[in-house]
Amino acid sequence: MTDYFRCNLFITFVFLCMLFSVLGFSYSSLNSSLAVQGSAVNDALSQKITIDAITDDNTKLLTDSLALSQLLIQTESMSSSWKSNFNYPTLIQLIFPQLAKDFSGATDLFSYQFKLRFSEKDNVMIQLLSAFTISLLIAYLLCLASVKRLFVRLENNILLEIGNTTKPKHSAFPTVTRLLAQHKAEHHKELQDQHEQIEALSKQINMDNLTGLYNRFYFRGELVDILSAKKQSQSAILALVRASALGHINKHSGFQLGDSYLKDISNMLKQCTKRYPDSQLYRVSGPDFAIIIPNMTVAVAHKLAREIKANLDEYQSLHELENVAYIGITTIHSGHQPEQVLSRADTALAKAQLEGPNYWAFQQQDSQQDNQGQSYWQDVIEDIINKRSLMLLSQPVQPIHRNMKNYQEIYTRFIGSNNAMLPTHTLFAMAQRLDYTVKLDQLIIENIISNSRTQMDGNSHWGVNLTSHSVQSSAFIVWLERLLLREPNIAANLVFEIDEIILERNIVSSKRVIDMLRRVGSRSAISKFGHGISSFKLFKELKPNYIKIDSGLIKSVTDDNASQQFLRMIVDVAHRMSCQVIAEGVEELAQKQLLESMHIDGIQGYLIARPAPLSKIAN
């Protein structure tokens, strides 16, 4: 409002200056005219005095009487005409009283001369009125221009105040500024509330309430974005982590501890992936988590999987669980289908479950069988069981000492409907998911016993692998015991191999299986032995007939002194307990020579022989 008052004061000042200038000019012009008329009056009075003097003297009366008579006649005539046309006595008396007095006292002749010289009065009044009108017009135009500038400035100030986030220190319109600030605050609060509502809804839709991770819907969208990238090729690593102990914890300890278990898994995954800034975690279902890390190499993915497994093993030992979680890893490339990638990761997860507790598996390439769904695999497995479509392979163990009998491990290959070999690892993984593992083990054992009647002699042992589900199945143990009791001669030559990790899950059920095998005359072996000091505890509890050293330990034995010392310890303890030691995965001659010096009982690996059909081995 200060600018508005300043504008009004300026306009008023200009108008008054112009008005006073016009009035001054008019007044000076009028005074000049009056001065001229005053001099005319004085001249007339002088003439009057002169005429009176002449009249008194009567010297020139005769000579001038005629001229004076004519002048008086003309004066009277003009005076009458002027009096009829000029009628401003009141104005003259009000403005110039002295002049009016002198004028009234003048004779007709002198009045005529005065009024004649005052003929410029009309021009003066016209100038006065014109100047006044022009002043008003100029003042109006100035006022209009000022108001226009005022509105422009007001508009700019309002726009500036709307754009500014802070309230200005000085404002030409404080009321408008205050209302604008109030309206802006209300509008900002309304926008903030709406933004918070949108974030809350987005969080509710895309976030998992328990773990605070993104849910399956957000995971699906992120996966589709990577796979559908058109501008540039994108790649990433996808890892599925299944918290396998959730069902057991919920059943035996309650859902509250189950929720705590899921939170612990979530925090563990966050801790392992925090070194990768682009990594993203999701909870895609009840026990399943997903990890997507863009632009990660396969080698780094393996390193991450080992780190996660180490944390899972530590958690398992701390909480005394049979297992904690499994990890299935695969690669993502733009152009693939989401179902294709998820199927590959799911297959890797199923393979990891076959390896043991907290294990991980990597599935990088697609195969025709891997890409099929569960219904496909269900039909395939049922067809194999009904048609008994399998083939037995054998890999021999080379004895080092004379007191060891011939030993050969039996492998199984499954044949599809088109007589093509099916991927054994994938088939077992899907069988485990579809609960066909026990039936497959029964089919394999029946086939081995059937072949052993014609191909096995009394001086050789056949190693038969048992899966985790079968070892933990009471129905399978009862079935196997009855089968072996019916075939005592064959049972005496069978060695049932069980992975150390499977036996560690449940010592009680493992001991029951080993004891049953002793009762029926069969032998037992702990395969993939030597993961740590806990291996000796398991060995002491179960007292198997054979232990088969893990190939990972054999691979580093020639270069690692610690591995050599650990291996010597295993051999020494085993021999003290009348247990024979077999080294698996021997592929180099240096390994064989070193193992022979350690008094290993047998060697198995590609250096000795590759797996071959059982019929060829028999021949």
**Distances from the Cα of 239 to the Cα of 279, 333, 349, 429, 618, angstroms:** 11, 14, 9, 17, 44
CA distance 457 to 570: 30
H or E element at residue 549: strand 546-549
- pLDDT value, residue 472: 86
Tell me the CB-side half-sphere exposure of residue 487, using CA atoms within 13 A. Answer: 18
- pLDDT value, residue 112: 53
- pLDDT value, residue 202: 66
With 0.85 as the threshold, say if the pTM is over it.
no
Task: Report the topology of domain 374-618.
Answer: TIM Barrel (3.20.20)
- pLDDT value, residue 72: 47
Compute the Cα dihedral for 363, 366, 368, 372 and give only its sign. positive
H or E element at residue 500: helix 500-505
- pLDDT value, residue 484: 94
Q: CB neighbours of 239 closer than 8 A, spacing ≥ 6?
A: 290, 291, 293, 301, 304, 305, 327, 328, 329, 345
CB 601 within 8 A of CB 400: yes
DSSP 179-223: HHHHHHHHHHHHHHHHHHHHHHHHHHHHB-TTT-SB-HHHHHHHH
Pick one of 3.40.50.2300, 3.30.70.270, 3.90.1150.10, 3.40.50.920 as the CATH number of 216-362: 3.30.70.270
CB 319 within 8 A of CB 260: no
- pLDDT value, residue 514: 94
- pLDDT value, residue 141: 77
- pLDDT value, residue 492: 92
CA distance 186 to 237: 47
Q: Give the chain's residues under pLDDT 50.
A: 1, 34, 41, 44-45, 48-49, 51, 53-55, 58-59, 61-62, 65, 72, 75-76, 78-79, 81-88, 91-92, 96, 103, 231, 616-619
- pLDDT value, residue 83: 44
